[in-house]
Amino acid sequence: MKGIAFLVGLLLSSVSLHSAAPIEGPTNVSLGAEAVLDLPEGWRWVPKEQMPAYFAATSRTVSAWDLGVVLVPSSNSGQAQELRLQFEPLGALNEVGLQDPETLLGSAREVAAAVGLRRQRVGLAVRELNTWRWEPNYQAESHVLRFGGSWMELEQEGISMHLRWLGRFGAIKLDWKGDEEGAYVFTALSEQLDEALHFAPGHGLAERQPGDAAAKLDLNALVLDGLFGRGALKGGKQEEPPPIYAWILGALVAAVAAAWLVITGWRSLESWLKMRAAAKDGEIRLGYYEKKLGSRSHEVELEEEEKQEGY
């Protein structure tokens, strides 16, 4: 029996290992409900449900936005190039035209400085944006946005490159970081991926309907959001800390509210103590009359009250 159980366990483990293996190209794979990827020959696909096992030997985790990982053979090293695809449910984006690269670079540097101050306060390394590595470019026909920056962090240069395929319900995202040599490889791979990726019927940006949810970001804000990550911007605007006068005003309002509560509480307590004292005094007088006059105590008390009131 033990031998049979061992064989059954071995068979099940081999089936699970086989089912967890990446999908080999050429084939078509679905990216959730949003899109379809024509996986070229030699490329492999790790769907979202297999990503936890794929990341098991690393500290990386799977997010709610993940669609899967494309693995592309690398000619320079034995490790495959990873292209991690995500879908962010932003809604249909506003295709307001991109600003010219210099103007947008100035805005990006302002955000970089603000983010750098926040990182510096908590002891993190500051990243400075030098220039564009990919000047922001939007292809209106295919609804694809490309942009990338050249960064300086801890006296080392780095590059980040980003693609956004805009759909009816949000954007498919591809973010990459590396050095100059890797950037050339990524550029070529991104062009192949662009040709292989297609939105599913009804999910393309060109198929949006009047009642569809609209994204808060336009193309310019989407560039800044992609460079600095979710949370650096809110609604397409730089998230700035409240000015000092706002903190002072808030403290004054809190102090006034606290004083009002104390005064109101004290007045209520004082009124209650007076009522308590009056009631106690009445009980003492009533007890005195009852001892002295017996059943006529209540009548005598009323006579005393009338005399005090002038009747």
Instruction: Confirm if 239 and 225 have CB atoms less than 8 A apart.
Output: no
**pLDDT surpassing 60 at residue 140:** yes
pLDDT of residue 235: 40
Q: What is the mean pLDDT of residues 286-300?
A: 54
Would you state the pLDDT for residue 40? 92
Q: Residue holding tokens 């991104």?
A: 190
Helix axes 101-121, 219-228, angle to 10 degrees: 40
The pTM (predicted TM-score) of the whole model is 0.68
Q: How confident is the model over 1-18, as pLDDT tens digits?
A: 444 444 444 443 343 334
Nearest to 107 by CA among 231, 228, 243, 214: 228
Q: How far apart are CA 282 and CA 288, in angstroms?
A: 10
Between 105 and 243, whose confidence is greater? 105
Q: For residue 36, what pLDDT is reported? A: 96
More confident residue, 287 or 24: 24
**pLDDT, averaged across the chain:** 81
How many other C-beta atoms are found inside a 10 Å radius of the C-beta of residue 149? 25
The string of pLDDT tens digits covering residues 46-73 is 999 999 999 998 899 999 999 999 999 8
218 token code pair: 């336009």
How far is the first Cα of the chain from the last one, in angstroms, to the nearest whole number?
Answer: 110
Residues with Cβ within 8 Å of 136's Cβ and at least 6 positions away in sequence, in order, are 98, 101, 104, 145, 146, 147, 219, 223
pLDDT the model gives residue 253: 81
Taking only the tens place, the pLDDT of each residue in 74-117 is 766 567 889 999 999 999 988 888 999 999 999 999 999 888 88
Task: Please name the residue that has the structure tokens 């506003």.
Answer: 94
* Nearest by Cα to 182 from 86, 81, 41: 81
Tokens 């009852």 belong to residue: 290
